[in-house]
A and B are shown apart, each in its own frame.
Chain A
Amino acid sequence: MRYEIGIAGSGGQGVILMGVILTEAVASVDELFVALIQTFDPAVRGGRAASTLVISDEEIDYPGPLGFDLLLGLTQRGLDENIARLKRGSLAVIDAELVNEIVWDKILRIPFTRIARDDIGDERVANMTALGVLSELCEYLSPPAVRASISSRFKGKALDLNLSAFEEGLKYATEFRGSGIEKVEKEDMEI
């Protein structure tokens, strides 16, 4: 078994932290191996940022991406640069506000940024909402393990805020799973 998750966005969105939290959560499962590769531009804010997780039930030979089983696009550029690596028939999850153009046959549009801003009250925790969604969608991510990993990184009010964003994402994905999946063919796109 080899399962790959790609997370692509820009510096400042918390893409790097998301990668670390998910990797920690997977690592806590006895029978699973995990490798995380992260790339980012020298500019801390606004440059490209990506996390690639490889999950396996045996020792991982190549730790880099071979083909994503799940891709999270948090910016248009992040999605564009990584969609070619998404395996046929796999799901692309995109931020409904930040990514507009996509041609794929399994798409889930979730307004992470809007949920974090309007429902949680802080746009900065959109990444935690996304973690909630990913935890629900990927069978190798257990919500309690992800929750534990988040809890080990924050304290007090910041923890409450991040956890509530996470729970919101989890809830949203549970409701949305299946029903929200759409397909966009090339001819559907307005170019």
Chain B
Amino acid sequence: MTNAELLSGNEACVKGALAAGCTFFAGYPITPSSEIAHMMAYELPRRGGIFIQMEDEIASLGAVIGASLAGAKSVTATSGPGFSLMQEHIGFASIAEVPCVVISVMRGGPSTGVPTHPSQGDVMQARWGTHGDRPAVVLAPSSVAECFGLTIEAFNLAERYRTPVIVLTDEMIAHMREKVFLPSSDEIKLVERLKPAEPPEWFVPYRDPGTGVPPMPAFGEGYRYHVTGLCHDERGYPTTRADEVEPFVRRLFRKISQDFDKLQWSETYYTEDSTLNVVAFGSVARAALRAVRDARSKGMKVGLLKLLILFPFVRRKVTQLMESSTTILVPEINMGQISREVKRVNQGKCRIETLNKVAHEPMTPHEILEKIEEIYG
């Protein structure tokens, strides 16, 4: 049975995290993500979980990683400036392979920017914000219902791949309230991190079991091992040896890249016969769907690809779409970030048009429709 509820995007993220089995939240107040902390502060202690307000965002993600090493599914939530501060520990969680979820609500930037308005300016920060090469997993809900579902999936991916996963929403989605139908707990599939099957004396903490993802015991379970932000060998000990560092870093990529075909999370609308296709995500995807419908009603053959995952980029879906498109339009409320990915995949197949808005206001269907009409001629 599904239950109808009225929730904001932020509330749905909390509900999703709790449904995923999250028992630990550490965070620092920041608009427009604070409601996540408010609700976590209320809910977690009542369920025997832990909420803690840390001294800053660096500390928040650090505590989250510590909690995860101790065995808890853990999460933090932030926005622009706080997300910048968290980059240090996104890198740590990547190299030390600690599952955790970061919910980042995009607001206008750079710096303090426009705290109360939406933006999509942090897409590339989510991908490349921390130093060093690493794979990134970034999900992008475009509705309150997707905030719920994708937060659960963020935990699942984090646990499956032992990696930090970012849920990138925006102010519009976060504060918007919608009537949603949430699945009951028995309809929700959860993934738990793999624990070692062998006894502690045989355990080699970072040895690739073939899947690219080593099993992970929690601190205190008898498997004493070393966790470090340095490049490490299979035992977890620091190494600078090329023959150990190279396979290690490659494994970090491979454990996710080998599943690219399973991670083409996206939805298509009206693409059966469309020649002009819109690629959009987040709140802009909502405006795009409306614009596409309006264009259809005017007889234009327009379709939409809505991205639910931004990274790894849904290369196969986009390539497929390009086969039947003459033009791809990428509307974003930034100066062009996901459009770079679309162009990278394009390789001359079709024309790529962008529509950018940096007033830190939602993109409207009217603006997209105008652009569609302009392209359509």
Contacts and interface: CB of A to CB of B under 8 A. Distances in A.
Question: Direct A–B touching in the complex (beta carbon < 8 Å)?
Answer: yes
Interface of A: 20, 23-24, 26-27, 30, 32-42, 60-64, 66
A64 B6 contact: no
B290 A66 contact: yes
B287 A62 contact: yes
Contact of A61 (B176, B179, B293, B362): B293
Contacts of A42: 115-116
A41 B117 CA distance: 10
B286 interface: yes
B33 to A, nearest CB: 16
24 contacts: A20-B177, A23-B177, A23-B179, A27-B5, A33-B179, A34-B6, A35-B177, A36-B176, A37-B175, A37-B176, A38-B175, A39-B116, A40-B116, A41-B116, A61-B290, A62-B287, A62-B289, A62-B290, A63-B172, A63-B176, A63-B286, A64-B286, A64-B287, A66-B365
B178 A35 contact: yes
Contacts of A33: 178-179
B10 to A, nearest CB: 13
Given A62-B287, A62-B364, 18 more contacts: A26-B179, A27-B4, A27-B179, A32-B179, A33-B178, A34-B178, A34-B179, A35-B176, A36-B178, A38-B175, A42-B115, A60-B178, A61-B289, A61-B293, A62-B290, A62-B365, A63-B143, A66-B365
Contacts of A26: 179
Contacts of B366: 66
A64 B116 contact: no
Contacts of B175: 37-38
Interface string B189-221: 000000000000000000000000000000000
Nearest to A52: B176
A32 B178 CA distance: 11
A135 to B, nearest CB: 17
Nearest to B364: A64
A32 B176 CA distance: 17
Contacts of B6: 23-24, 27, 34
Interface string B166-195: 000000100111110000000000000000
Nearest to A38: B175
A64 B179 contact: no
Given A61-B293, A62-B365, A36 B286 contact: no
Contacts of B143: 63
A108 to B, nearest CB: 27
Contacts of A40: 116
Nearest to A37: B176
Contact of A62 (B5, B115, B177, B286): B286
Contacts of A27: 4-6, 179
Given A24-B6, A27-B6, A64-B364, A36 B290 contact: no
Interface string B1-20: 00011100000000000000
A66 B347 CA distance: 37
Contacts of B179: 23, 26-27, 32-35
A23 B5 CA distance: 11
Nearest to B4: A27
A153 to B, nearest CB: 13
Contacts of B116: 39-42
A39 B365 CA distance: 18
Interface in B271-294: 286-287, 289-290, 293
Contact of B172 (A32, A37, A41): A37
B111 to A, nearest CB: 16
A41 B116 CA distance: 8
A132 B75 CA distance: 42
Nearest to B172: A37
A24 B178 CA distance: 9
Interface string B337-364: 0000000000000000000000000101
Contacts of A41: 116
Contacts of A38: 175
Nearest to A2: B290
A23 B179 CA distance: 9
A33 B178 CA distance: 8
Contacts of B286: 61-64
Nearest to A25: B6
A4 to B, nearest CB: 13
Contact of A63 (B115, B178, B293): B178
Contacts of B289: 61-62
A59 B308 CA distance: 18
A40 B290 CA distance: 25
Nearest to B178: A35
Nearest to A64: B362
Nearest to B114: A42
Nearest to A20: B177
A89 B304 CA distance: 33
Contacts of A66: 290, 365-366
Nearest to A149: B6
Nearest to A35: B178
